[in-house]
Amino acid sequence: MNTGIHPVIMAGGMGSRLWPLSRELHPKQFLPFADEKSMLQATLGRLDGITEAQPILICNEEHRFLAAEQVRQIGKTPSILLEPEGRNTAPAIALAALHALEREENPVLLILAADHLIQNVDAFHQVIEDALPLAQEGKLVTFGIVPTHAETGYGYIQKGSALGAHGFEVARFIEKPDLPTAESYLANEDFFWNSGMFLFRAIRYIEELEQYAPEILSSCRLAMDEGVHDLDFLRVDKKAFAACPENSIDYAVMEKTESAAMVSLDAGWSDIGSWSALWDVSDKNTDGNVLYGDVLAEDTSHTLVKAEHRLVATLGVDNLVVVETKDAVLVANKDKVQDVKKIVALLKQSGRNEQLNHREVYRPWGVYDSVDHGHRYQVKRIMVKPGAKLSVQMHHHRAEHWVVVSGTAKVTNGEKTYLVTENESTFIPVGQVHALENPGVVPLELVEIQSGSYLGEDDIVRFDDRYGRK
């Protein structure tokens, strides 16, 4: 275990190619794919045995409570930096490097993505140890994945001359190739997949940014200087960060620096960038199928079926992806899953919500599930965590009727505050200032019936909120 390594977890992606499971407000890094833990939780767990330093987690402001809840569930306490908007990896890593330098004089940063799968954790740890001397010497080390097939969805790294016992110079970085080119790379041991993981000293990265992308560095410095602590988060300045150029670490630094190095990694790595990638790394039955959930597959082969909430049956099909959620179903040829993002684009263009969030929506106080809706009404099932409280609020266009199913609700309804227990109900008129709180030690479960001329989530006027929401 090396206490000088400071992990940096980037959790800002959207994962649109894994729709309908991955949504804009609940993207793939916060979802379980390989096991019961989310990909973020698995990434944090993978750090055990590497370092005792607390990680730095970078995520979008929209995902802050989701991230905080998931790290709490596994007993981790990282620093959480909030990006008001995504500006790609070079600025995100700059924020982390500046923050790490506030904690230690010149730490080594281990840059990881929150949405990668690594099946052989021991091999992963060993390669980090192998790469550490190069990073300590001032190299910017990237990890090149030993390719297992001709992949057109990844960039590549060509290795150069040997550096020490385990490393190589980087001859060049290569954009995503076409299939014939990828096949030629597979046959050549000098080519590796570009993992997007790095190991380097914080000051060396800052120095390289100063030389090759000074606008990024100056914007990030100002964003950190003007940042504020908010609950468990460090919120960087929105105006300063919005002025930061958008660029990846590859383009901004790695392709320009004379200090790039590579160490090869063969540890069952995948970025789970598509449904076919999940099929590739999953255990298959004798027909080549990967089946999750309640699935009946008859005369079906080389197919992935993920059933989240109901029985899914397939008959006489081959090479498909079928994914079922509460509010959407995807059926796609496995060879076309890179184009799932086109479906997401169509949903955005048509103003639909299925690309934005699931029917079940997580909030800092708990979760709600929109179980039914129609003209002038909507029904939600709500769970409020023990001790949690929704904001003090009012609605211009809807009334609400709450029926407590289990637990006890503390209700503020205008000037009155009272308790509502199991099998009791209360009514909140249109325009009434109100709040809902769980004063108990068990989850509060209730059914909410909304009625009115407009039922959108933006019809909320908040007067007070313990979670800092506007």
Q: Where are the beta strands (DSSP E) in 103-259?
A: 108-113, 117-118, 140-145, 156-163, 167-174, 191-201, 228-230, 233-235
What tens digit of pLDDT does each residue of 165-197 get?
899 999 999 999 999 999 999 999 999 999 999
Omega cis (within 30) before 214: no
pLDDT confidence of residue 153: 86
Single-letter amino acid, residue 325: T
Instruction: Tell the residue number behind the tokens 């009404």, with chain if given.
Output: 377
One fold for 5-270 and 360-464: no
Separation of alpha carbons 466 and 38, rounded Å: 26
The CATH homologous superfamily of the domain defined by 5-270: Spore Coat Polysaccharide Biosynthesis Protein SpsA; Chain A (3.90.550.10)
What tens digit of pLDDT does each residue of 111-123 get?
999 999 999 999 9
Separation of alpha carbons 98 and 95, rounded Å: 5
Single-letter amino acid, residue 273: G
What tens digit of pLDDT does each residue of 413-439 get?
999 999 999 999 999 999 999 999 999
pLDDT confidence of residue 328: 96
Q: How confident is the model at residue 230 (pLDDT cuts 50, 70, 90)?
A: confident
Average of pLDDT values for 221-231? 91
Helix/strand/coil for 413: strand
pLDDT confidence of residue 15: 86
Separation of alpha carbons 33 and 29, rounded Å: 9
- Domain layout of the chain by residue ranges: 5-270, 275-348, 360-464
Q: Say if residues 163 and 139 touch (Cβ distance below 8 Å).
A: yes
Instruction: Give the bridge partners for 323, in sequence order.
Output: 306, 330
Q: To 10 degrees, what angle do helices 214-225 and 89-103 make?
A: 50
As given in the structure block, the two tokens for residue 193 are 């997949």
Give which of 208, 174, 202, 207 is closest to 190, Cα–Cα: 174
Q: Say if residues 18 and 275 touch (Cβ distance below 8 Å).
A: yes
pLDDT confidence of residue 36: 86
Q: Is the pLDDT of residue 52 over 90?
A: no
pLDDT confidence of residue 255: 95
Q: Say if residues 223 and 244 touch (Cβ distance below 8 Å).
A: yes
Q: Say if residues 157 and 138 touch (Cβ distance below 8 Å).
A: no
What tens digit of pLDDT does each residue of 234-284 get?
999 999 999 999 999 999 999 999 999 999 999 999 999 999 999 999 999
What tens digit of pLDDT does each residue of 292-306 get?
999 999 999 999 999
To the nearest whole number, what is the mean pLDDT of the chain? 94
Task: Give, in words, the CATH class of 360-464.
Answer: mainly beta
Single-letter amino acid, residue 377: Y
As given in the structure block, the two tokens for residue 97 are 């490097």
pLDDT confidence of residue 231: 74
Single-letter amino acid, residue 29: Q
What tens digit of pLDDT does each residue of 314-341 get?
999 999 999 999 999 999 999 999 899 9
Q: How confident is the model at residue 33 (pLDDT cuts 50, 70, 90)?
A: confident
Q: Rounded to the nearest 5°, which phi and psi values hold at 244?
A: -75, 135
Average of pLDDT values for 67-81? 92
Q: Is the pLDDT of residue 67 over 90?
A: yes
pLDDT confidence of residue 165: 86
Q: How many CA atoms lie within 13 A of 174 on its CB side?
A: 21
